[in-house]
Amino acid sequence: MKPLYCGANQNRNAQTRTAEERNFERYLQEVSAQACSNQNVQRTCRVKREERNNVILKANTGGVGPLPVLTTQLINDLPVASVTIDTSKLKDPSVLLTFTSQINMTAELNVNLVFTVKKYVENGSEQLVGGSWVFSSIAEIFEAETFAFQFYDGHANPGKFTYTVQVSSNSFVGVAAGLSITNATLSVLAVDEN
């Protein structure tokens, strides 16, 4: 049986469609007509369509590096990845952040990276949310390791926010330069708890 491609089938010549495809299309039309003839089903469909809007997913990628040797504190935090999400249409949003990355280290590297999450509100205010997540390693040869964490922001008010994962200023990269954070992905999932 040939695969069905929604939209593409409408443009295909009726003669080139298989009997199975034509029968399946007729079946879908009949089911749609039966479902739409019942007003209760229409109300249910409308409610279900509205319920689908109670979940928002946003994601973005980023990275930082290569970094120099950091034996003293950084002046500023280093942003790695940011995502802006608008939860103003949700009544009681709960937000789950998932951060994944690859940390590439050069030989003879001693590293202690502290990651934090900063939340910027549309009005310009900012706050650290959650705790801190630490990546610590000693690399004898060139190597790469994955690093990931999740944070649940259960007390998010509806609004427009930007979440930023950053390397905190109290991080340490010793002995050798060249550390980089690549393939960093920050995804934010907001769900209406109401």
Q: How wide is the angle at C-alpha 54 spanned by C-alphas 35 and 154, nearest 5°?
A: 150
pLDDT digits (tens, 9 = 90+) for 43-99: 444 444 445 568 889 999 999 888 777 766 677 888 999 999 998 888 888 899 999
Q: How wide is the angle at C-alpha 138 spanned by C-alphas 137 and 139, nearest 5°?
A: 115
Structure tokens at 37: 């003839």
Strands (E), the chain: 55-67, 78-86, 93-105, 109-121, 126-139, 143-153, 160-167, 172-174, 179-192
> What are the residue ranges of CATH 2.60.120.40 in the chain?
55-192
Compute φ and ψ for 41, nearest 5 degrees: -65, -40
pLDDT digits (tens, 9 = 90+) for 93-129: 889 999 999 988 888 878 888 999 999 988 778 888 8
pTM: 0.68
User: CATH number of 55-192: 2.40.50.100, 2.60.120.40, 1.10.260.40, 3.30.450.20?
Assistant: 2.60.120.40
pLDDT digits (tens, 9 = 90+) for 145-163: 899 999 998 877 888 989 9
Q: What is the pLDDT of residue 117?
A: 93
Checking if the pLDDT of 8 tops 50, the result is: no
Q: Which three-class secondary structure state does DSSP give residue 77?
A: coil
Cα end-to-end span (Å), the chain = 44
Q: What is the pLDDT of residue 151?
A: 92
Higher pLDDT, 35 or 169: 169
User: What letters, b where the CB count within 10 A reaches 16 and e where it falls short, cover 155-187?
Assistant: ebeeeebbbbbbbbeebbbeebebbebeebbbb
